[in-house]
Amino acid sequence: MYQQKIGISVANTYSMPTPELIPHLKQIGFDAISPEWSKAYPLAPVAEAAKKAGLILQSLHAPYTGSADLWSEDEAVSAPALADVLASLEDAKTYGIPVLVVHAWIGFGCSFVPTEAGFRNYDAIVAKAKEYGIRIALENTEGEEYLFALLDRYVGNDTVGYCWDSGHEMCYNHSKDLLALYGDRLIMTHLNDNLGIRRFDGDTFWHDDLHLLPYDGIADWDYNIARLRASRPMEILNFELNIGSKPNRHENDKYMRLPIVEYFTEAYSRACRVAYRYAK
């Protein structure tokens, strides 16, 4: 849109192959995409389709199912997880993607037990990223203490910045104002909506992480935009949204009934509503 670029994170499991979706995303109006790295889905067709359509590859999402394993003292556990993240970093280099989004943790009901091994693994990722000229965007998820520890560790290191997931902040971080803490290091956004933490006692669970379109949940977007405007300026505002509902939930069912192009058109409309207010 005028004076503000808009990006969208893309997964690998839509009703059509992601490379086929990409020209539609361009036609709808998106300026950039951020694919998700997966062993099962090679990145090359996605990168080629983006290049052909004239879409920017803004970031690559590193694998995150092994994020807790990275903190393991047992190298047999941590090494495969580290290898996967490094493989995604290698792909980011191959396809000229300037940012790799990395989670600091995965898992619920766990204590914060940072390890020297964990820090060493993240140091290895950051060192290789620096060598490649790629920035690591550490994203807020559950287990925020791990994120805080890493962001503290890399203060002053230009290779490392922050990826703000607006939905995670509500459903995992009890709406703590993370942009107040790390907005000056913001290099990526995952903007999405949800209904906050469902449980009255505040226990968090991944089923609350709905990734709804902006304005379909309870997020105060005026507040979010004001905080984004007070943060490091973003050339591209990126949205990370889900078509499918979480298990035994139905909030996203309405998206599944739409033709996929119409869903992303609606996503773009909501993104414009945020981006217009961000840019003006």
Catalog residues that contact another protein under the rule CB under 8 A. Answer: 1-5, 27-29, 31, 259, 261-262, 265-266, 268-269, 272-273, 276-277, 280
Residue whose CB is less far from another protein, 147 or 213: 213
CB of residue 1 vs another protein: minimum separation in angstroms?
Answer: 6
Shortest separation between residue 239's beta carbon and another protein, angstroms:
14
Contacts of 226 (CB under 8 A, 6+ apart): none
Give least dist CB 23 to another protein, A: 11
Instruction: Indicate the angle between helix axes 260-279 and 221-229, nearest 10 degrees.
Output: 60
Q: Which residue lies nearer to another protein by CB, 5 or 249?
A: 5
Question: Of the two residues 34 and 121, which places its CB atom closer to another protein in the complex?
Answer: 34
Strands (E), the chain: 5-10, 32-35, 56-57, 60-61, 99-103, 135-139, 160-165, 186-190, 236-239
Contacts of 200 (CB under 8 A, 6+ apart): none
Cα of 223 vs its chain's centroid, Å: 20
* Of 4 and 78, CB closest to another protein: 4
Smallest distance, Å, CB 81 to another protein? 39
Name the DSSP letter for residue 235. S
